[in-house]
Amino acid sequence: MTTSPLPDSLTDLRDRTRQFALERDWGPYHTPKNLAMALSVEAAELVEHYQWLPTGAEAELDGAARVGIRHELADVLLYLVQLADQHGVDLHAAALEKMQLNAIKYPAGRSPL
């Protein structure tokens, strides 16, 4: 299976969400504040699928939970991409930068556990 590079995938999602919102005249409602709030709500809906499970491991999930988790992950990603677009953030570059910072903060071989 061939997959496109992640940056291209994120750019594609950005372009598609821009077009989707434009076709529905959602621009006035897709402010950074509203997108951040929607992102938070969708993250909470994701967490809800794991509530009361011992670990949330794959074996603990039924088919409906797997579909729900997939859909909520998609919602979180779509709102995140839209929020990054509003702020002009390159998510791929930001993630790489954050990983570099985390590598300094948490050096390999020095587990806090």
pLDDT in tens, 14-47: 999 999 999 999 999 999 999 999 999 999 999 9
Q: CA distances (Å), 38 to each of 20, 43, 51, 86, 88, in order?
A: 16, 9, 20, 14, 18
What token pair was written down for 7? 């940056």
Whether pTM exceeds 0.75: yes
Q: What spatial distance separates the first Cα and last Cα of the chain, rounded to whole Å?
A: 37
Domain residue ranges in the chain = 7-105
Burial of 31-51, coded b for 16+ CB within 10 Å and e otherwise, reads eeebbbebbeebbeebeebee
71-99 pLDDT, tens digit each: 999 999 999 999 999 999 999 999 999 99
Q: From CA 6, how far away is CA 27, in angstroms rounded?
A: 26
7-105: what fold? Helix Hairpins (1.10.287)
Residue 2, pLDDT score = 54
